[in-house]
Copies of this chain bind each other. A is one copy, B any other.
Amino acid sequence: MRRTPLDPDTLEAVANRFKVLAEPARLQILNELRAKPSNVTELIAATGLNQANLSKHLQLLYTHGFVMRKRDGLFVVYALADPSVFALCDIMCAQLGRRGTELRKRAR
């Protein structure tokens, strides 16, 4: 059995990681990278995000260790560094499924 996280530093560290995933644009990026590693230009096309915005999201994903990157000539290729993200998303999606039924009323 695991001890639950209690100290403020751990709480904050975990919250910060959730925060990185708490953004549709970043989930979309991760989802694209799930299919295949891509350079920024490809990601612009795939996501519809503009260059500066995408770059900022990529920085954040990178500094938090969700993606890796390597330069390839003029391009920088990003790739998933942490597939466990999708385990998280799958759990979330499962919750979404159950949600539909009972949460509509609350949300209003």
Separation in Å of the A107 CB from the closest CB of chain B?
6
- Residues of chain B with a CB closer than 8 A to A45's CB: none
Task: State whether A24 touches B11 (Cβ < 8 A).
Answer: yes
Interface size on A, as a range, is 35 or more
Query: What secondary structure prevails in chain A residues at the interface with B?
Result: helix
- Tell whether, in the assembled complex, residue B90 and residue A88 are in contact, meaning their CB atoms are under 8 Å apart: no
How far is it, in angstroms, between the C-alpha of A21 and the C-alpha of B102 when the chains are bound? 20
- Please name the residue on chain B nearest to A102 by beta carbon: B65
A binding-site residues for B, Cβ under 8 Å: 2, 4-6, 8, 10-19, 21-24, 26-28, 31, 34-35, 62-65, 82, 84, 86-96, 98-99, 102-103, 106-107
